[in-house]
Structure formats: C-alpha cells, structure tokens
Structure 1
C-alpha cells in the first residue's frame, strides 16, 4: 500500500552554504533522499552575511529553498509551517528558541528538533546557555532527533523530558561522493573547520608526524585557522574545499584523518559526516578514539584508531598497499550498506510517522475524554 506523502518544513542553520559548517552537506544528502521517497520539503534559512558570501548552492532541485532576514519575517511562511505534516528546527539556528516556540504555536502536528551538535548542545544546556534550545522547549518538541546515539538518548528523555529522543546520524550521498581514480598528492590529509578543542589532536596526529617525516606530504583543508599556527613546510594549507570538490580531495589522499570534538568524545556514539564521506570516496581513515566507534565502522578492519604520532607514521610508512586498499574497500562497503542518505531518509520518515501517529492518538484520547465529560455534565 502506498504511504501518504509528507509535507515537511525544515528550519536549519544552512542549506545554501557549506562554508565553515557541517550542516549544509548533512541537510543536502538527507533531504534529497527524503524527497526521492516522494515527500515535499521546504527549507527555511536565516539570511546571514557570512553564508551569503560563501554560497555554493543557490537553487535546489530537491526542495524549496527560501530565506528570511529576521524572526518577524517568518510570518511570510506561517501558512506553510502551520499546514505541514511535520516541522523540524535544527541546532544552531539563530534565535532558535524563539523560532521553536513560534513553530510550536503555529503547527499542531509534529514538531521536531534535529540536533546536529548534540554533545555541544547538552554542554550548553548544562552551562545554562540557551542560544538555540531551552529545556522547556525540549519537552514541547514531539521528537528529538540526535546526531549522538547510545546513552545520550536516555539522558535527553530522562533529564530533559523529551517525549521521544531518537538517533539520526549523519550520512553520505553516494552519488555526490564517488570513489575517483587520482594520483596521490598527500600521504595524510585532514578536512575540517578549525576548532580549538580539536587542534591539540590535529597537532599530535598530523602536524607532529609531518615534522618528523619531512619526506611525506600532508594537507589541512578548512577555514578559520589562526595565523599563529606553525605549519610544517610539508603541510599544504587549503582555506576551503567545497562539497563538490571533496571526492577529488579524498582521492588525492592516501589516508585521511578524523578528529572528533571534545564534547563528542565525552558523549560517544557521535560519528562525523567526514567519516562517511571519506569512506564512500574509498579513502582509508585514521581516527582518534571514542566510545561507540565500533558500532559505526569496525576498528582494524574498516577504520584505524591511532593515539600517537608514532602510530600514524607506522601506518603511513609501513602498511602494505594491499592492506590499505582492503581497508578502504571494507569501509566503503559498510558505509554504502548502512550509512547512505537513503538509509537515513528511511529512518527519518519512520520517526516522523511514528510521532504523527502518537500525536493523533493523544489528540483522539483528549477529544473522547472531553466528550465523555460533557456527556456526564448534561445528564
């Protein structure tokens, strides 16, 4: 039996610009696959100068993309928000608390929060930083979709009162991230925006190996790195790599490095989208360690955890080429079989449909209770 088409509105940090954030590529992969399942999507993005200046998606062929300048400007989209089967508000949306309360007041169906930064969000809540989410709003949302799985989901429900916290990891669009044949330019690369809490790990696992092995070649790509960083001569710095260029970047890397933010290491079960993208592109991955890694990719067979510069150099200089290629093929097969955008879109649809049905049942019980009370009073 054909399932009903869903009308979804998403208010997210950015769909139009991948500059300095990992949200855009996540939304692009997920919503394209969701639309391919037959659903209609409207994405509303706050117009801000730093993304407007670095826009790499001006028109979307899988959803309606519209911009609003101020909170009051959302009034233009009130009818579509109110009539949607489900509305999702994402993490780091400017004035996210006010946006969420407005959406909840307008839409009586399902309202969800999609946390692409769950461990960071929870750390902010502990510090009473409610920049884009507040505890009372968590209870108001029908569904909390989380980039972090494992025990974090229970914490969101038990401590913050979410009716339903569900894992929705990032994913990769295999068509956008194919495995390419390229000559290797670098022995080890890293792709990511600068983050102070990631920098010590990047220094330990890439810059220090580069200093010790000047005959090897390295690359660090991403914006916002401080000028005072002392880059070894054999480390190529690239300010920004647009999503369309990611496959070529990974193809030019013998290995690539994954570095996890401190809050995500503490929470565990928080894979980065770079893991899935690099694996889909057929590039072997070295990674720092975090709890739950084995539920995403198998250490030693699909991904290689490293702790020291010595670990990194032993792999770069000593791992046989057949083993490197085997690791890459195994990771690619795992990601395409479990972590593609199509898998995530199916999960999202299921989470939304369950939430919609749950809300309908609650509404029906309230209607029946009111009818029963009214009948009793009239007797």
Structure 2
C-alpha cells in the first residue's frame, strides 16, 4: 500500500503531540511493508525546532503553501490512500484540493476530535468544516465511544472509526536511571488543563515540601507561582521521554476539557508513561476504565489529597500492570495493523459502491 500523509508535523515535536503519534504509527506501518510519504507545511515555528529530519522509514518533504502543494498532485493521485490530519494549516482548502486529485481512499485522521467538534459547534473551521466531512471516505478518530455515531449521524461521515494513539515500545521502556521526582507531569500549557495541574500537582507540592515534583513542557505563563519543590523543564524532546518517566516515581495525566466531555479520548502520554512502567495518576473521564483497570493499573484522582494518598503507596506493581496492558493492546504495531485494516475496508466499500451504481 502506498500512503501519503499530510499532517501537522512529523519533523518537530515542539509544542504538539502530533509528531510523536505520527512517528510511532508510520514507522510501524512502514515495517508492515507499506510505502509512506509525509508532506508537512513548512512553517517557521517548527522549522526552527526540528528533531527529526530524515526518517529511515518514510519520505518526509515540505510545501510552503497551497500552490506548492500542487507539486505533489501526481504522488497523491497515485497513492492507494491519502490521509489528512487535524490542525493542518488551511485544512479545509487542502481537503478540497486533495479530493479532486486523489485516486484511492481519502481519510481524515483527527488527533483532536473533541476539540474539532467543539470548534465546529461554534463555527470555527480552522482545519475542518462540516461540509468537508462527507468528502472523506474514512474518519479516523482519537476518540471512540458515542462520538463515532455523532460523526456519522450529525456530520454525515460515511465511515467513522476509532484509531487511538499508541506507543513505540522500542522508544518507550523502563530505564535504569536515578529517581528524581515523586510526581511528574509532561504536557504543553493549556488554559483548560491548568486548573487540574494546580489541583493535582501544585497543591500537593505545597502541602508536601519534602517531596519533589516536576512540570515539563513549553508555553507556561511567566506569572505562574511554582512552589520551590516543583522543577520546571521548558521542553522535553521525545528522545528524553523514557528517561523522564523512568526518573519519576509516578506521573500525572491531565486531560483537556473537551476530551473529558467526550470521553474515550486517551492521551498518548498515558501509553508512553505506562510503557515505561511508570505508575500513572489521572483525572477521570468516561472510557478510561476500558483502557486501564482503576486501582490495579492506574490511580484515578479527584483531589490533591487523593494524589498524596497514592504517593504514600508502593506503586511499582501498578506500573508493571499498566505496562503489560499497553504492550498487549496499545503499541504502534497494533495501531498500524488497525490502520491497514480500516483503509482496506474503506477501499472495499468504495469498490462495492462503484459496482452498485
């Protein structure tokens, strides 16, 4: 299968979770014997922060604008499948152009489904419009559950399927590094996540100055008052994630408000931390229990005291159990097989539709 992907970024993990998701998925997809080309909009904020420039498992190239994208028309037309991702600049225009050119299956890969739907509800068509959704043969969503029915019934998607994020177990595994922190958090600043970070990390840090905490990620406002026992790391590149998690006695997962409302929206950080055998303390949302067993594979916390109570425990067995759950069902190999199957099913449906006309 020849797959062309137009995504937010493969080359830079700075300030986004898309790059690590694409890297794990497409590397595993290529390992299944498939041919992958990734086309990325060349924007200065990623161009200056690239941490992957020449992947061995796919062709990576750039286009400056829609006119330059036309240079790839032949490649897109010859592909068995083309997949456009969420947050691609000028995504609506890109979709309309590619729909004209594509010869195979056209899929949308939504790494931000609840955010996308919230945008559509308020008329924000930054990268997707309601009118474009039916043009996609397949809508692959980071969110499962009732959202898939909504995409088909309300928005007219011909085929909506869950394709959760995943982890590359060769890049994320327990490392023998010194323990530096009792609780860590890895994530770009988000206004709707910050109250939970305050409640589940900063408040416990203030209550227990004898414990060590860390928050890693860019774009945090300068006026946040961090307790003295909370270390700040501006950017932790993917190459350092395994060491970061392995140096943490436990790590915190915080979910965006739109994803909590939708449910069934696991963050890639959940799978990455679990693959490193690091015990996870998470906020609550519908569907999390379908991924990790509460109390055995994950701690669900509502208050800062819940966090402190968890940190009083020996969580090592929980970390091991979470790692086993991820390796059994949530690796990049699992997702690559799912992607291959969904693209093939969509192509078969297109063939049946054409033959019935």
Q: TM-score, normalised by structure 1?
A: 0.94
| Residue 355 of structure 2: aligned partner | 364
| Residue 203 of structure 1: aligned partner | 198
| Residue 239 of structure 1: aligned partner | 234
Q: Which has the larger radius of gyration?
A: 1
Out of 309, 312, 315, the position equivalent to 2:307 is 312
- The 2-side partners of 1:345 and 1:208 are apart by 40
Report the secondary structure of 2:204's partner residue.
helix
Out of 53, 58, 61, the position equivalent to 2:53 is 58
Q: Once the 2 structures are TM-superposed, how far is the Cα of residue 75 of structure 1 from its aligned partner?
A: 1.1
Out of 221, 224, 227, the position equivalent to 2:219 is 224
| Residue 118 of structure 1: aligned partner | 113
Q: Once the 2 structures are TM-superposed, how far is the Cα of residue 109 of structure 1 from its aligned partner?
A: 1.7
1:97 aligns with 2:92: yes
**Within 5 Å, which residues of 2 pair with 1:135-284?**
135-284=130-279
- The 2-side partners of 1:120 and 1:59 are apart by 31
C-alpha contact 1:109 1:359 (8 A) present in aligned 2: no
Report the secondary structure of 1:334's partner residue.
helix
| Residue 339 of structure 1: aligned partner | 330
Q: Once the 2 structures are TM-superposed, how far is the Cα of residue 314 of structure 1 from its aligned partner?
A: 1.2
* Number of matched pairs: 357
1:289 aligns with 2:280: no
| Residue 340 of structure 2: aligned partner | 349
Structure 2, gaps ≥5 residues long: none
C-alpha contact 1:251 1:282 (8 A) present in aligned 2: yes
Moved segments of 4+, more than 6 Å: none
CA-to-aligned-CA distance 1:250-276 (integer Å, 9 cap, x gap): 011000000000000000000000000
Q: Once the 2 structures are TM-superposed, how far is the Cα of residue 238 of structure 1 from its aligned partner?
A: 0.1
- The 1-side partners of 2:187 and 2:66 are apart by 30
- The 1-side partners of 2:349 and 2:174 are apart by 42
Q: TM-score, normalised by structure 2?
A: 0.99
C-alpha contact 1:302 1:330 (8 A) present in aligned 2: yes
Q: Once the 2 structures are TM-superposed, how far is the Cα of residue 76 of structure 1 from its aligned partner?
A: 1.0
Structure 1, gaps ≥5 residues long: 1-5, 367-379
Q: Once the 2 structures are TM-superposed, how far is the Cα of residue 363 of structure 1 from its aligned partner?
A: 1.6
- The 2-side partners of 1:254 and 1:96 are apart by 41
